[in-house]
């Protein structure tokens, strides 16, 4: 059976600046503010502003919503972010241009969003994966009379459009690297253990939702999904709870677990595929989804699965139930968990632990307090709401507030250790 | 010369037993009671500069008394605080644990000594606890262990089970050189291959709560509404947290027939509150509770509801809310509570 392939054409960005035209040259991404405004324009938004925040800057981004990596399949997008920018048709084949080292960051007030902070320098910088990227920060002012739902949708679409436009600047540039990625299917080809990924998406209603091909994945059953599709933006985040524990669009595009399984495919494992699963709110539905996901793993011939989540305590159950359901079907599983061990690190780490599995990875303790020294400028808002302080102030915040610091998809380098 | 401050209760401070359990916080210069033996065991180079004491009744329940104790301790500019041994004495153990935890929060190393069964063990926060014997008959051995632990801690060495360390060892965030996805695949391959590789998170064991027996006659019962849904009056006047709540609140509902939209809203950050805010009775079932009250199916509804946000709440805080709610509802003569969860 001949599978499809996707060529990821990678261009490295080492500096960002503004200029009269949008250009990519010798690692520098120049952005025309007028082009950016056009990409972001919507009847739901009175105005938009873009600013750069780069690693080492004395800058803080607050009220971070989504983060997107610039990618396009050609002029006008050509199918990137299917179901939102392009038609809702399967992607994940052909060629996709990627700007590495740069991110489009939406930041501003939405009513249900929890405060989320990225520091570009100081002790907070290494805690967020986006302390290391050149960030084009998008701020916005809602139009009079626009509903928050319309503002949310406008920001989401605008940021995706801008991300595609930026990548377009590199279409003719010589790439730094080209990766050819195998797509589905993934038939058994060796005696190596067949390992797949189960990626739970926090689909819990407006402002806490994840879109697949442009539609909420909330009512969908667990689905065997071509991983090449996620690289083309088939999964887009609209989930603004638990900033440390969220998976922005960027993390789906670059999917750290899939990247790790691909890296080792044919060496010490065989990549067996990707399953997307919703995270429902009702306990019974969580159980149903766990059982269905386990059956899919059996059908796809998984020997083991890396199970990940998005969100806080109740989402622990979505991993734990799957680990248990997989154990019942004789399939090994590891879960990536963030710990909620209290500020002093002495409380129980998990809300809902598995009953039949102990292979648990820690992405760090949500409650540990970090001190962020004052910065010169802030983007995204004038205050840090959880701290009741100015956005540029010296802050003491739980790690929970630092954007993607406990990346449930495994992008981060934090873990927890007992300190005797 | 390192400065050691010793915390003891009223009994070991020589002020009396149960009759003196309300003794307010105080300080005596140098070593007192078991502190004299402790000083001997600590040896030259370490001096118990003061003994801070408080009556067990006050120390275990009064935040003000605890704050005073911690002030008295801080005034001595200690290099280390040692508390106990408390053996199996519950209030004394709780006090020792809280004094040690408070010292650590203030940046001073601290060690509490108590028996592993002492309920104070859970209150020690990030402080070190070493095991003592079950009773004062084992005081000598308990003091030897405490002195050895204090010397080791002052030398900057880590304390382990071999030193008699008991209780929770704090878990701290550290940055490592492989991302969680990579470490996860390593662990999975080891387990799938039948190799025993260590996990990174200890699996917690939770206790099981036996539900109270059913209410015999609901038509005479006083029912309280309690919720972790984050439902508060619009504007969140008391600033209830949207996540990681550290407290709970109460709001009057006496005489209110329903919880109307626009008057209440949820601040909970853990679920989409759109539907709940359209009809807050979905979180606080006041409308149907009033119907049941009118029909006589229940006696009366309690005049206020209790609320917190159950979102990323630590287990110790959640347990504390439970204890405080139970005490509060019993005091108010409530026979049963409806606890709505989200």
pLDDT at B90: 86
Chain B residues whose CB is inside 8 A of the A254 CB are none
Residue B284, pLDDT score: 97
CB pair distance less than 8 Å for B172 and A416: yes
Both tokens of B89, joined, read 């004495």
Residue A419 has pLDDT above 90, yes or no: no
Contact between A205 and B268 under an 8 Å Cβ cutoff? The reply is no
Distance from CA of A315 to the nearest CA of B (A): 10
Among B125, B173, B192, whose Cβ lies nearest the Cβ of A416? B173
Q: Is the pLDDT of residue A194 over 80?
A: yes
pLDDT tens for A99-122 read 999 999 999 999 888 999 999 999
Q: β-strands B171-175, B304-307: how paired?
A: unpaired
Over residues A356-374, the pLDDT tens digits come to 999 999 999 999 999 999 9
Which residues in chain A have Cβ-Cβ distances shorter than 8 Å to B169? 346, 418-420
Closest to B23 measured CA to CA, from B15, B31, B14: B15
Confidence of residue A402 (pLDDT cuts 50, 70, 90): very high
Q: To which residue do tokens 């209790």 refer? A: B306
Q: Which residues contact B156 (CB under 8 A, 6 or more apart)?
A: none
Task: State the Cα–Cα distance between residues A101 and A133, nearest whole angstrom.
Answer: 5
3-state secondary structure of A318: helix
pLDDT at A3: 74
Is A306 an interface residue toward B (CB < 8 Å)? yes
Contacts of B158 in chain A (CB under 8 A): 420
Q: Which residues of A touch B271 (CB under 8 A)?
A: 204-205, 208, 281
Tokens matching residue A259: 């990247």
Who among B187, B191, B244 is closest to A398 (CB)? B244
**DSSP one-letter code for B50:** E
Report residue A6: phi and psi, to 5°: -125, 130
Nearest Cα to Cα of residue A409 among A293, A268, A239: A239
Contact between residue A210 and residue A225 where contact means Cβ atoms under 8 Å apart = no
Q: How many CB atoms lie within 10 A of CB A294?
A: 27
Report the C-alpha gap between B53 and B83 in whole angstroms. 10
What residues 51-110 of chain A have any CB closer than 8 A to a CB of chain B? none
Q: What pLDDT was estimated at residue A2?
A: 63
> Do residues A300 and A185 lie in contact, with contact meaning Cβ atoms separated by under 8 Å?
no
Top-confidence residue, A78 or B322:
A78
**Contact call for A242 and B269, based on CB within 8 A:** yes
The whole-angstrom distance between residue B273's C-alpha and the CA centroid of its chain comes to 30
Nearest to A113 by CA among A416, A381, A407: A381
Low-confidence stretches of chain B (pLDDT beneath 70): none
- Half-sphere exposure (CA, 13 Å, Cβ side) for A318? 29
pLDDT for the residue numbered B192: 95
DSSP result, A113-165: PPP-BEESSSTTGGGSGGGSSEEEEEEEEEPTT--HHHHHHHHHHHHHHHHHH
Helices of type H across A67-111: none
Return the closest-CA partner of residue A257 out of B197, B175, B185: B185
Both tokens assigned to A94 = 């052909």
Residue A229 near chain B (CB below 8 Å): no
**Residue A231, H or E segment:** helix A227-231
Distance from CA of B314 to the nearest CA of A (A): 6
* SS3 state at A48: strand
Decide the pairing of beta strands B46-54 and A94-100: unpaired
For residue A196, list chain B residues with Cβ-Cβ distance below 8 A. none
- Which of B183, B193, B243 shows the shortest C-beta gap to A361? B183
Q: What is the ipTM, given to two decimal places?
A: 0.97
Q: Span A2-26, mean pLDDT? A: 95
pLDDT score for A348: 84
Which element (helix H / strand E) includes A395?
A: strand A395-398
Q: Give residues 312 to 341 of A whose Cβ lies within 8 Å of B.
A: 312-314, 332-334, 336-337, 339-341
Q: Is B83 helix (H, G, I), strand (E, B) or coil?
A: strand
* Cα–Cα distance for residue pair A99/A56, rounded to 1 Å: 20
Contact, B95 vs B124, CB < 8 A? no
Q: What is the pTM of this model?
A: 0.84
Taking a C-beta distance cutoff of 8 angstroms, is the pair A124, A131 a contact? yes
**Mean pLDDT along residues A238-256:** 96
Residues 231-260 of A with CB under 8 A from B: 241-242, 256-257, 259-260
Q: How far out from the chain centre does Cα A237 lie?
A: 7
Report the relative pairing of strands A414-418 and B231-233 from DSSP bridges. Answer: unpaired
Q: How far is CA A202 from CA A43, A407, B140, in A?
A: 28, 14, 57
Tens-place pLDDT, residues A125-143: 999 999 999 999 999 999 9
Would you give the DSSP letter of residue B330?
Answer: H
DSSP track, B177-243: SS-HHHHHHHHHHHHHTT-----SSPPP----PPPPPPPS-GGG-EEEEEE-B-EEETT-TT---SS
Candidates A289, A295, A294; CA nearest to A277 is A289
- Pairing between strand A28-32 and A15-19? parallel
Residues 6+ apart with CB under 8 A from A312: A241, A242, A245, A340, A351, A366, B243, B270, B311, B312
Q: Which residues share a beta bridge with A19?
A: A32
Closest CA to A255 of B180, B69, B212: B180
Cα A223 to chain centroid distance, Å, stands at: 19
């Amino acid at each position: 059976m001949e599978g499809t392939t996707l060529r990821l054409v990678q261009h490295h960005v080492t500096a960002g600046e503004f200029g009269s035209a949008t250009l990519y040259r010798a690692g520098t991404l120049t952005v025309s503010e007028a082009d950016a405004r056009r990409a972001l324009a919507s009847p739901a938004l009175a105005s938009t502003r873009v600013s750069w925040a780069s690693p080492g800057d004395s800058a803080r981004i607050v009220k971070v919503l989504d983060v997107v990596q610039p990618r396009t399949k050609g002029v006008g997008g050509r199918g990137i972010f299917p179901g939102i920018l392009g038609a809702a048709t399967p992607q994940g084949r052909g060629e996709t241009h990627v700007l590495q080292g740069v991110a489009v960051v939406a930041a501003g007030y939405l009513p249900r969003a929890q405060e989320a902070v990225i520091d570009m320098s100081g002790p907070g910088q290494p805690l967020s994966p986006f302390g290391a990227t050149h960030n084009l920060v998008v701020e916005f002012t809602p139009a009079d009379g626009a509903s928050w739902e319309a503002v949310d949708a406008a920001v989401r679409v605008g940021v995706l459009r801008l991300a595609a436009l930026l990548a377009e600047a590199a279409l003719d540039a010589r790439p730094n690297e080209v990766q050819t990625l195998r797509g589905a299917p993934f038939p058994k080809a060796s005696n190596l253990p067949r390992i797949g990924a189960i990626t739970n998406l926090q689909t819990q209603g407006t402002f806490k939702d994840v879109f697949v091909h442009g539609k909420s994945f909330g009512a969908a059953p667990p689905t065997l999904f071509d991983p090449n599709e996620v690289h083309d933006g088939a999964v887009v985040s609209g989930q603004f709870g638990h900033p440390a524990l969220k998976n922005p669009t960027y993390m789906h595009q670059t999917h750290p677990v899939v990247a790790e399984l691909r890296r080792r495919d044919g060496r010490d494992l065989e990549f067996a595929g990707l399953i997307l699963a919703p995270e429902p709110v009702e306990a019974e539905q969580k159980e149903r989804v766990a059982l269905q996901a386990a059956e899919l793993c059996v059908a796809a011939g998984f020997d083991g699965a890396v199970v990940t989540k998005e969100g806080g305590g109740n989402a622990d159950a979505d991993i734990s139930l799957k680990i248990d359901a997989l154990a019942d079907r004789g399939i090994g599983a590891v879960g990536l968990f963030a710990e909620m061990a209290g500020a002093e690190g002495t409380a129980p780490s998990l809300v809902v632990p598995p009953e039949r599995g102990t292979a648990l990875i820690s992405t760090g303790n949500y409650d540990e307090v970090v001190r962020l020294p004052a910065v010169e400028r802030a983007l995204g808002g004038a205050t840090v709401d959880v701290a009741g302080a100015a956005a540029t102030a010296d802050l003491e915040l739980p790690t929970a507030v630092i954007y993607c610091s406990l990346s449930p998809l495994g992008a981060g380098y934090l873990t927890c250790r007992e300190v005797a | 010369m390192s400065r050691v401050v010793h915390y003891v209760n009223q009994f070991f401070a020589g002020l009396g037993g149960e009759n003196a359990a309300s003794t307010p916080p105080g300080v005596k210069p140098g070593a007192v009671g078991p502190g004299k033996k402790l000083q001997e065991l600590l040896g030259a180079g370490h001096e118990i500069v003061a003994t801070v004491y408080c009556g067990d009744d006050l120390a275990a329940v009064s935040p003000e008394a605890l704050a005073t104790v911690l002030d008295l301790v801080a005034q001595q500019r200690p290099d280390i605080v040692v508390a106990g041994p408390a053996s199996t004495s519950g209030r004394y153990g709780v006090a020792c644990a809280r004094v040690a935890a408070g010292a650590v929060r203030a940046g001073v190393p601290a060690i509490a000594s108590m028996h592993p069964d002492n309920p104070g063990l859970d209150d020690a926060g990030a402080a070190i606890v070493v095991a003592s014997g079950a009773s004062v008959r084992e005081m000598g051995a308990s003091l030897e262990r405490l002195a050895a632990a204090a010397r080791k801690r002052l030398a900057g060495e880590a304390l382990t089970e071999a030193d008699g360390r008991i209780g929770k060892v704090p878990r701290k965030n550290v940055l490592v050189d492989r991302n969680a996805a990579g470490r996860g695949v390593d662990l999975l391959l080891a387990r799938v291959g039948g190799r025993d590789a260590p996990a990174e998170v200890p699996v917690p064991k939770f206790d099981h709560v036996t539900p109270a027996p059913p209410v015999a006659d609901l038509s005479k019962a006083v029912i309280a509404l309690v919720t972790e849904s984050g439902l508060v009056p619009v504007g969140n006047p008391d600033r209830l947290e949207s996540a990681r709540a550290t407290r709970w609140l109460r709001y009057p509902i006496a005489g209110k027939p329903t919880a109307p939209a626009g008057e209440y809203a949820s601040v909970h950050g853990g679920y989409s509150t759109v539907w709940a805010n359209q009809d807050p009775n979905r979180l606080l079932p006041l409308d149907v509770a009033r119907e049941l009250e009118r029909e006589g199916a229940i006696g009366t509804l309690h005049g206020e509801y209790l609320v917190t946000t159950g979102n990323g709440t630590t287990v110790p805080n959640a347990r504390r809310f439970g204890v405080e709610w139970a005490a509060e509802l019993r005091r108010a003569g409530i026979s049963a509570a409806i606890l709505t969860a989200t």
